[in-house]
Amino acid sequence: MESGYRLGNFQHLDTKLVFTQFLNITNTFLQTPVWELSKIAKELFYENIFLEYEFLNPEEYILGIDLEETNTGTSKTLQEYLRENVNLLNLKNSELESTLNLLIELLDEHGFLREPLDKISESYQIGKEIILQAVEILKQIGPKGIASRNFSEYYSIFLDDSENEALKKILNDEIVPYETLERIREKLDSIPFSPASGFSAEEYKGYIVPDIIVKRQNSELIVFLNEMFRLKLNPVEPYKELINNNKNILREYEKALEIVRAMSRRNKVLLDVATFVIEYQKRNIIYGKELRPLDLKTVAGKLNLSLSTVSRAIKDKYVLTDKGIFELRSFFVRNVSKGVKISPEKLKELILEITDNGKINMSDSKIAILLEKRGIKVSRRTVNKYRNILGIFKAKKRF
Per-residue pLDDT of the chain (399 residues; tens, 9 = 90+): 333 333 333 333 344 444 455 567 888 899 888 888 888 888 888 888 889 988 875 544 444 344 444 444 446 788 888 988 888 887 876 789 889 999 999 998 889 998 899 999 888 889 999 999 999 999 988 888 899 988 888 888 888 888 888 877 776 777 878 777 777 777 777 777 788 887 765 444 445 678 999 988 888 899 999 888 888 888 777 777 777 788 888 888 888 888 999 999 999 999 999 999 999 999 888 888 888 888 898 999 999 999 989 999 998 899 988 888 888 988 988 766 666 666 677 777 778 877 777 677 778 787 878 877 777 777 777 777 777 777 776 554 444
pTM more than 0.75: no
Quote the domain boundaries for residue 210.
Answer: 8-72+206-331
Query: Are 374 and 325 found together in one domain?
Result: no
Question: Which residue from 26, 69, 31 is spatially nearest to 228, judged by alpha carbons?
Answer: 69
CATH code assigned at 359: 1.10.10
Tell me which of 306, 331, 356 is where a domain ends. 331
Query: Are 384 and 302 found together in one domain?
Result: no
Phi, psi of 256 (to 5 degrees): -60, -40
Cβ neighbourhood burial of 116 (10 Å; 0-12, 13-18, 19+): exposed
Query: What pLDDT, on the 0 to 100 scale, is given for residue 265?
Result: 93
H or E element: which one contains 320?
Answer: strand 318-321
Query: Are 219 and 315 found together in one domain?
Result: yes
Query: Are 214 and 357 found together in one domain?
Result: no
Query: Are 228 and 371 found together in one domain?
Result: no
Provide DSSP, 162-211. Answer: HHHHHHHHHHTT----HHHHHHHHHHHHHS-SSTTTTS-SS----EE--S
What's 8's DSSP letter?
G
Query: What pLDDT, on the 0 to 100 scale, is given for residue 146?
Result: 93
For the chain, the farthest-separated pair of C-alpha atoms sits apart, in whole angstroms, at: 88
Strand partners, 54: 230
Cα gap 293→237, rounded to integer Å: 52
Tell me which of 331, 354, 370 is where a domain ends. 331
123's CB contacts (< 8 A; 6+ apart) are none
Counting the structural domains of the chain, the total is 2
Query: What pLDDT, on the 0 to 100 scale, is given for residue 304?
Result: 95
Query: Are 259 and 353 found together in one domain?
Result: no
H or E element: which one contains 4?
Answer: none
Report which residue type is found at 53: Y
Query: What pLDDT, on the 0 to 100 scale, is given for residue 284?
Result: 86
Tell me which of 280, 297, 331 is where a domain ends. 331
Asked if the structure places residue 270 within a domain, the reply is: yes
Q: Are 344 and 332 in contact (CB under 8 A)?
A: no
Question: Which residue from 342, 295, 337, 273 is spatially nearest to 88, judged by alpha carbons?
Answer: 295
Phi, psi of 264 (to 5 degrees): -65, -45
Strand partners, 216: 221
Query: Are 253 and 369 found together in one domain?
Result: no
Strand partners, 220: 217
Asked if the structure places residue 121 within a domain, the reply is: no
Report which residue type is found at 188: L
Cα gap 143→78, rounded to integer Å: 9
Asked if the structure places residue 186 within a domain, the reply is: no
Query: Are 215 and 310 found together in one domain?
Result: yes
Query: What pLDDT, on the 0 to 100 scale, is given for residue 26?
Result: 82
Distance of CA 264 to the CA centre of its chain: 17
